[in-house]
Amino acid sequence: MDAIARGENRILLVMAAGTGKTYTAFQIIWRLWKSGTKKRILFLVDRNILADQTKINDFKPFGKAMTKITNRTVDKAFEIYLCLYQAVTGIEEEQNIYKEFSPDFFDLVVVDECHRGSAADDAAWRRVLEYFSSATQIGLTATPKETKDVSNIEYFGDPIYTYSLRQGISDGFLAPYKVVRIGFDKDLDGWRPEAGQTDKYGRLIEDREYNDRDFDWNLILEKRTELVAAKVTEFLKATDRFAKTIIFCENIDHAERMRQAMVNANPDLAAANNKYVMRITGDNDEGKAQLDNFIDPESTYPVIVTTSRLMSTGVDAQTCHLIVLDRRINSMTEFKQIIGRGTRINEDYNKLFFTIMDFKRATSLFADPDFDGDPVQIYEPGPEEPPIPPDEPSEDGPDFPLGNDPFDIPFVQENPKKFYVDNVEVRVATERVQYLDENGKLITESLKDYSRKAVRQSYASLNDFLTVWKDAEKKQTILEELAAKGVFLNELAEQVGRDYDAFDLVCHVAFDQPPLTRKERAEKVKKRNVFGKYGDKARAVLDSLLQKYADTGIQSVESLEILKVDPLPVFGTPVEIVNLFGGKPAYLAAIRELETALYQKAS
């Protein structure tokens, strides 16, 4: 506002994703509009998602004074115009409908995500901005572009205000994060077919060395996709299977295969609701229709979405807990945008941190001096200590064509042939724990040692841990707090024993207690006939939940969503099952009684 009052007409605001760029734009526009300083305003975006979210959320107070330009139709009766820049520009002159406005029609033009197009001399946005050159123009971005060909600063000038990711995390406005790095043997070492080897369709595979630049483009290793899905599922089972998750894939074809792999890896929850896993890409109307539900904190489904480019920017997923990178990322701008999908905090839904699971070494960009927000720690799991991954991705990687809208990458290349290989094993190759100490120094140590130290920072003794565990209404809360400190229970289970309860893993690793398997704990409860006071059907429900505990752990028992998963639906709907106990409070009390029975011997 001060800059505009001084007569500055080209203004750049740089604000990290999640710090309220659109809300800030609204506040600026509202004040200028209400005061009569700027009477007609154009708000330019690059995607329909951004325009629609803005209209119904932050810009709602403008009411009937606001319109969204659609169907290449201009109505000059409004004061606030929301516009997708593709809707007013085109290759042919008659498609440039922004010229139906006079050059001095708008007093203010605001460009959201201005790194996307307005920075380039030949970009469509740039032509729009130059046409309305008499207007005050404000560029908003989390990631200003500065290359030999593209420059935000050359057009808008130096940012008059910058709020970085590092500042946002430090001030408590943005969620801190940890990184799980997983390296596969074929990604690190490459793969070459045997002489005469054919793919699953009988086609001879071209004899050459294939690497991670080829995978999911020229060569599809189906077992690699399955392994990614298995590791993501393993992480969710150890934390929360209903944690909102975005899996970024190389292209639309890859996103569809990943969707199916996640369905196969989660057959119980996928069968209970077909929206548990969905693909949200530019060509998929069914998926795009569910985007609002995914970003709505009150909506359970979809839980897991696979995408290519559609959700890399502008999607306000407040409760996204897990971001999975199975795509090579060569651009710091794009990397920051993707990380921004997880930085929102929502205390009402216990979203205080998030996790990045990286299968393509994209998080090597954290080491770039241009990156301004350090992760809490970086973890590279696997069966043994590996060599350092060969090369970081370079800026001269392959360029694949972007769709006009919404920037998803279909599979397009000069040689369209790709080979599908279903009989080549892919294995996890890397394991390492890395975290930043209080002096900002990167420390490396074993997973067990790191976990022991992290647990003991919160619980000085075994008795301290047992007391908190016993009193907790939800054990999942304690596990989430430990996860926030980098205690990766699913990876600990790989080393200590996959059949051990999270409780036993913590007690064993941190306090040297002998662990029991989940099955052993469940059997002890059954022998004590703990549920004799309940009716037959309620007792059968608790027996089924006890079996679910033995199979997957305490997290599934504490979630009401488990009532939708076989075999629980045979007892009725979730409401009917809860009513078997006399209502929700009585049902939750029964769950606590079950938990007390499971862990009473430990205390």
Structure tokens at 408: 């998803």
What is the mean predicted confidence (pLDDT) over 81-108?
Answer: 78
What is the mean predicted confidence (pLDDT) over 92-99?
Answer: 71
What is the reported pLDDT for 115? 64
Helix residue spans in 512-569 (DSSP H)? 518-527, 536-552, 554-558
Q: Is the pLDDT of residue 346 over 70?
A: yes
What is the mean predicted confidence (pLDDT) over 264-272?
Answer: 93
What is the reported pLDDT for 412? 40
Q: What is the pLDDT of residues 393-444, one digit of tens each?
A: 332 233 333 333 333 444 444 344 788 998 889 888 765 555 444 443 444 5
Contact 430, 380 (CB under 8 A): yes
What is the mean predicted confidence (pLDDT) over 373-385?
Answer: 43
What is the mean predicted confidence (pLDDT) over 340-352?
Answer: 74
* Lowest-pLDDT choice from 296-310, 433-447, 501-515, 564-578: 433-447
Residue 488 to residue 431: CA distance in whole angstroms: 12
Q: Is the pLDDT of residue 30 over 90?
A: yes
Taking phi first (over 0 means left), then psi (-120 to 50 degrees means alpha), and beta for anything else, what does residue 430 get? beta
Helix residue spans in 38-120 (DSSP H)? 48-56, 85-88
What is the reported pLDDT for 154? 66
Structure tokens at 327: 């795509």
Of 237, 213, 408, the closest CA to residue 311 belongs to 408
Q: Is the pLDDT of residue 180 over 70?
A: yes
Q: Is the pLDDT of residue 236 over 80?
A: yes
Q: Is the pLDDT of residue 228 over 60?
A: yes
Contact 428, 382 (CB under 8 A): yes
Q: Is the pLDDT of residue 595 over 70?
A: yes
pTM attached to this predicted model: 0.58
Q: Which residue has the higher pLDDT, 401 or 1?
A: 1
Q: Which residue has the higher pLDDT, 367 or 24?
A: 24
Rg over CA atoms, the chain? 27
What is the mean predicted confidence (pLDDT) over 193-206?
Answer: 90
